[in-house]
Amino acid sequence: MGPAPRRVMNFDFSPSEEVFRKQVRGWLEANVPDDLRGRSFAATRADRDEVGRLRVWQRRMYEAGYVGMDWPSEFGGRGASVVEQIVLYEEMARAGAPQFVNRGALGMLGPTLMAHGTPSQQRRFLPGILTADALWCQGFSEPNAGSDLANLQTRAELDGDHFVVRGQKVWTSMAHVADWCFALVRTDRSAPKHRGITFLLVDMRSAGIAVRPLRQMTGEAEFNEVFFENVRVPVENVVGRVNEGWGVAITTLAYERDLLTFIRHIGLRNALHRLIALARRTGGAADPVVRQRIAALAIGEHCLRLNGYRSLTKILRGGAPGPEGSTAKLFWSHLDQELAEVATGVLGPYSQLTEGTDRAPDDGQWAFYELLAQASGIRAGTSEILRNILGERVLGLAKD
Ligand SMILES: Cc1cc2nc3c(=O)[nH]c(=O)nc-3n(C[C@H](O)[C@H](O)[C@H](O)COP(=O)(O)OP(=O)(O)OC[C@H]3O[C@@H](n4cnc5c(N)ncnc54)[C@H](O)[C@@H]3O)c2cc1C
């Protein structure tokens, strides 16, 4: 008897997938606006004008059939195959195309509404997510509820057919430009902390909402404090059941760690290409240690991509993201920070020059990247918390 046949994975694309790739590539080449091209590797969504341009860009991509390709057709998508979705992301990275401005809603809220929303919520909210006519922010974190999210204290009390919301959210990305917010609020203060939470869709134009920008170390204010003072929200805006929002939020967070990490990968790949070009241009590539670190980054990026294919396949085959998404998020943030560090080393003191400064390499995007990367290990679950999840829920280690 000969040796057992090896199971071989085939990563080649079929002829029809290659046709699709050609089509997307041609479309992106002709359509990515010059003022947005190449910026996705150190992208900001703080600037209102830039957000306006990104909205137009998402809409254009939607009209061409490239937004929400993986969404089922009943929800306005194309029910595309996992491979087409991957090809799209790869080509967006190759073209230096910006990511979708409404990616939080596309990657998190959309799937959450498909799983837990009513048909009327799905009809009302899903189209605007795809077209970017409605920009969304995520109102989860509070001053005393970050890693310990279930400690959230923003209250919502029933008054007739409305909830009245009082409290504060913090670190709310995009709140200054958002039309809507998907928020977690406490609706039963006597229940244990994971119960008594409700998932609510709040119109950001409601009376009683105040948004205060928080300036970040990048110099920009992409996230905000959001204050709710007796904000009235119709009961029909509850997703899932009242007091059972924790289960809904878990769906959202799982998609945040898994799907969004795959999308963030576009930015990482762009940055890696830019780093290689930078190392060649500056002569840094002649240093064997720099070469080794860049090679390690390229290998890491490849692993992240293959791991992303695996989770995306599972999701598009009807499965839900599991705690394994935490590996992708943890690994991505590690790579992102390592990449920023290597670039800073290659540039030396020039790495400090910011946008608009004379002689700033790549118009100061590296200085921005280095500062922004500090947040990678915090947002969407800190690295410590992700290690806890992996240890306890994936590896089955004892809690203590
Ligand atoms: C750029 C950026 C954008 C963000 N955007 C949003 C947004 O749009 N919407 C939103 O709701 N939130 C947003 N956040 C908030 C983010 O989710 C929280 O910052 C994160 O969950 C951590 O919470 P915290 O800041 O309160 O830190 P804390 O939870 O107070 O943690 C402080 C430190 O203690 C560690 N720690 C805490 N508990 C444990 C534990 N049990 N075991 C081991 N270590 C522990 C943490 O790892 C961390 O190092 C954003 C954050 C950043 C940086």
* Per-residue pLDDT reduced to its tens digit, 329-343: 999 999 999 999 999
Average pLDDT in the chain: 90
Q: Check: CB of residue 172 under 8 Å from CB of residue 226.
A: yes
Give the pLDDT of residue 287: 97
CA-CA-CA-CA dihedral for 371, 221, 328, 293, to nearest 10: -10
Residues 262, 267, 268, 269: is their CA dihedral positive or negative? positive
Residues 206, 243, 125, 225: is their CA dihedral positive or negative? positive
Contacts of 303 (CB under 8 A, 6+ apart): 331
Res. 235: pLDDT tops 60: yes
Gyration radius from the chain CA atoms? 22
Q: Tell me the pLDDT band of 98, cut-offs 50, 70 and 90.
A: confident
Task: Give me the residue label for tokens 């694309």.
Answer: 13
Give the end-to-end CA distance of the chain in Å, rounded to a whole number. Answer: 49
Nearest Cα neighbor of 274 from 41, 28, 91 is: 41
Q: Check: CB of residue 202 under 8 Å from CB of residue 185.
A: no
Residue-wise pLDDT tens digits, 283-318: 999 999 999 999 999 999 999 888 887 877 777 677
375 C-beta closer than 6 A to ligand 1: yes
Lowest-pLDDT range of 11-20, 65-74, 122-131, 355-364: 11-20
Res. 362: pLDDT tops 60: yes
Q: Check: CB of residue 168 under 8 Å from CB of residue 141.
A: no
182 C-beta closer than 6 A to ligand 1: no
Q: Check: CB of residue 148 under 8 Å from CB of residue 168.
A: no
Residue 28's DSSP bridge partners are none
Q: Check: CB of residue 330 under 8 Å from CB of residue 300.
A: no
224 C-beta closer than 6 A to ligand 1: no
Residues 361, 365, 369, 370: is their CA dihedral positive or negative? positive
What whole-number distance in Å separates Cα of residue 290 and Cα of residue 299? 14
Please report how the helices 325-347 and 288-316 are oriented relative to each other, as an axis angle in degrees rounded to 10.
150
Lowest-pLDDT range of 113-122, 196-205, 244-253, 315-324: 315-324
Relative to the CA of 148, which ligand 1 atom is closest? 29
Considering only residues 14 and 172, tell me which one the structure prediction assigns the higher pLDDT. 172
What whole-number distance in Å separates Cα of residue 29 and Cα of residue 51? 21
- How is 161-172 classified by DSSP, letter by letter? TEEEEEEEEEEE
Residue-wise pLDDT tens digits, 177-201: 999 999 999 999 999 999 999 999 9
Q: Tell me the pLDDT band of 3, cut-offs 50, 70 and 90.
A: low
Relative to the CA of 384, which ligand 1 atom is closest? 47
How much is the average pLDDT of 106-131? 96
**Pocket perturbation via mutation, ligand 1, pick of 135, 138, 144, 147 by most ligand atoms within 8 A of CB:** 147
Considering only residues 51 and 325, tell me which one the structure prediction assigns the higher pLDDT. 51
Res. 82: pLDDT tops 90: no
Name the residue with the closest Cα to ligand 1, atom 21. Answer: 146
Relative to the CA of 140, which ligand 1 atom is closest? 11
Residue-wise pLDDT tens digits, 5-43: 554 455 677 888 899 999 999 999 999 998 888 766 666
Cα 379 to ligand 1 centroid, rounded to whole Å: 6
Active site residues: 256
Q: Tell me the pLDDT band of 124, cut-offs 50, 70 and 90.
A: very high
Give the pLDDT of residue 43: 66
- Assign 207 to helix, strand or coil: coil
Res. 266: pLDDT tops 90: no
Q: Check: CB of residue 366 under 8 Å from CB of residue 343.
A: yes
Res. 323: pLDDT tops 90: no
131 C-beta closer than 6 A to ligand 1: no
Considering only residues 264 and 380, tell me which one the structure prediction assigns the higher pLDDT. 380
Contacts of 354 (CB under 8 A, 6+ apart): 219, 360, 364, 367, 368
Question: Quick one: DSSP state of residue 145?
Answer: B
Give the pLDDT of residue 325: 80
**Pocket perturbation via mutation, ligand 1, pick of 378, 383, 386, 390 by most ligand atoms within 8 A of CB:** 378
Give the pLDDT of residue 84: 87
How much is the average pLDDT of 71-75? 91
Relative to the CA of 216, which ligand 1 atom is closest? 1
Residue 162's DSSP bridge partners are 159, 234
How much is the average pLDDT of 255-259? 74
The tokens describing 310, both together, are 């695996």
**Pocket perturbation via mutation, ligand 1, pick of 101, 108, 171, 336 by most ligand atoms within 8 A of CB:** 171
